[in-house]
């Protein structure tokens, strides 16, 4: 399922237009993004938790030349599945 499928599903479930459903989906995703930008975890009870995780600086090799390349430390987004979602499969 991709974003357009999700919008169509929301529109069908709520018996609303795809435009309104797209606004709802974008609002939810924007809220998740805003929470992560504030360095907070975003927990959707029963679904899961989005959280920022630190990533250490590291050295990798360029596959074409074999030269080492330094990659700076940063953050990545992690997702931990909630119990209800895990148990549904």
Q: What is the pLDDT of residue 68?
A: 96
Q: What is the pLDDT of residue 73?
A: 95
Q: What is the pLDDT of residue 84?
A: 92
Q: What is the pLDDT of residue 74?
A: 93
Helix (H) or strand (E) holding 22: helix 18-37
Structure-token pair, residue 55: 């990533």
Q: What is the pLDDT of residue 39?
A: 81
Which residues of the chain are modeled with pLDDT < 50? none
The C-alpha atoms of residue 31 and residue 19 are separated, in whole angstroms, by 18
Q: What is the pLDDT of residue 45?
A: 93
What are the residues whose beta carbons fall under 8 Å from the beta carbon of 80, sequence distance 6 or more? Answer: 48, 49, 51
Q: What is the pLDDT of residue 31?
A: 95
Query: Each residue of 37-58: pLDDT tens digit?
Result: 998 899 999 999 999 999 999 9
């Amino acid at each position: 399922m991709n974003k357009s499928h999700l919008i169509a599903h929301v529109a069908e479930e709520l018996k609303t237009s795809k435009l309104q459903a797209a606004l709802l989906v974008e609002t939810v995703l924007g809220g998740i993004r805003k929470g992560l930008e504030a360095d907070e975890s975003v927990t959707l009870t029963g679904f899961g938790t989005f959280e920022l995780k630190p990533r250490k600086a590291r050295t990798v090799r360029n596959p074409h030349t074999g030269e080492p390349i330094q990659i700076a430390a940063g953050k990545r987004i992690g997702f931990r599945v909630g119990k209800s979602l895990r148990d549904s499969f």
